[in-house]
Amino acid sequence: MSKGAILVTGGAGYIGSHTVRMLAEEAGYEVVVIDNLVFGHRDALISEGVTLVEADIADAASVEDVFSRYKIDGVVHFAAFCFVGESVTDPLKYYANNTAAPLTILKAMRAHGCDKFILSSTCATYGDPQDIPMPETHRQEPINPYGHSKLMLERILKDCDEAYGIRSVRLRYFNASGCSPDGVIGEDHEPETHLIPNVLRAVKGEIGPMTVFGSDYPTADGTCIRDYIHVVDLARAHVRALNYLENDGESFSCNLGTGKGASVKEVIDAAEAVTGKRVPLQYGERREGDPPELIADSTLAKDLLGWEAEITDIKTIIESAWAWMNGDKGGKYKD
């Protein structure tokens, strides 16, 4: 079944590559990936027939060339920087890459009559949580440039719908985690800042003891609670969002999470149960900007996309991350 080509920006990255695989292998789309391979990995594109264009989305000529060569029916946009701390020390890098660069894509979409855009957005657009679980109506006051850079793109997309009829679904992820259950593709960030891969790297002895950032939070066990959402569930949400726009759905933003929280200690306990080993750890100071608890209300995604997280158990998520770290690639791509 040919539905036309889908352009996936940043498709060689962590969430992008899982989405590309699902679009190509399960949903039967022709997929064109544009990725500058700064953080993406050529090896993460494992599905047959996927085209990789190695270019930066800020390069308008390359973007125009892609839209001229392929008939692009829709865009799934991942290409972005995502280190919160770095966004504080180098905000221009984040506004240039996360807010300004995607304008080339939107201009090309307008020129070529492409009207469907799926955005990889984030719960960081909300800032400090007022209500738990957080609904989409929660106030959006980001507390770092990363969150602002994504919130501005959400705003740009609303205006592009008004003015040009480019419809969009803005997906606000909570904590993306896990890997393909078959261990073939997964998470390979350098530097790695996320909890689950660092816990597992510590178990494998690839790094020293992991640090628990703060144990005096106002939570049951004193450590931060997050809503860990499996990357395959996230990938499915993008396919659903694309189908929704293909069926003439109107633009909207929604959360993607499980609605269930796990504390840092619970993640460590689950990692010990999965690996059968102790997690070498030490307790440290709170990390700046970490709220005690973040949990999604994903009712809207269920109502409008028919999407719900299928994996809601933290142990299952960790099992998949462990499978990737012990698979053929050992948790690392070659390039």
Interacting residues with ligand UDP (CB under 6 A) = 175, 193-195, 198, 210-213, 224, 226, 264, 287, 290
Tell me whether residue 49 or residue 191 sits nearer to ligand UDP (CB atom). 191
Q: What's the CA gap between 117 and 107, in Å, rounded?
A: 12
Cβ partners under 8 Å of residue 284, min gap 6: 211, 212, 213, 214
Nearer to ligand UDP among residue 190 and residue 335 (C-beta): 190
Minimum CB separation from ligand UDP for residue 175, in Å?
Answer: 5
Determine whether 146 is an active site residue. Answer: yes
| CB closer to ligand UDP out of 81 and 213 | 213
* Cα 325 from Cα 163, distance rounded (Å): 46
Nearer to ligand UDP, 73 or 187 (CB): 187
Determine whether 11 is exposed, middle or buried from the number of CB atoms within 10 Å of its CB (0-12, 13-18, 19+). Answer: buried
Give yes or no for a contact between 83 and 193, defined as CB atoms under 8 angstroms apart. Answer: yes
d(C-alpha 290, C-alpha 24), whole Å: 36
The C-alpha atoms of residue 325 and residue 300 are separated, in whole angstroms, by: 34
Rounded to 10°, the helix 195-204/314-325 angle is: 50
- For the bound state, the minimum distance from the C-beta of residue 101 to ligand UDP, rounded and expressed in Å, comes to 22
CA distance 167 to 157: 8
- Residue 235 Cβ vs ligand UDP, minimum distance, rounded to whole Å: 18
**Helix/strand/coil for 320:** helix
Angle between helix 102-112 and helix 60-69 axes, rounded to 10 deg? 30
Nearer to ligand UDP, 212 or 318 (CB): 212
Query: Which of 42, 76, 157 lies closest to 110, judged by CA?
Result: 157
Annotated catalytic residue, options 14, 94, 126, 146 = 146
Instruction: CB nearer to ligand UDP: give 287 or 332.
Output: 287
Helix axes 264-275, 314-325, angle to 10 degrees: 60
Distance CA 168, CA 76 (A): 10
Cα(76)–Cα(305) distance, integer angstroms:
16
Tell the smallest beta-carbon distance from residue 174 to ligand UDP (Å). 8
Closest distance between ligand UDP and the C-beta of residue 304, in Å?
25
Beta carbon of residue 289, minimum distance to ligand UDP (angstroms, whole number): 8
Tokens, residue 113:
């009559």
Residues classed as catalytic: 146
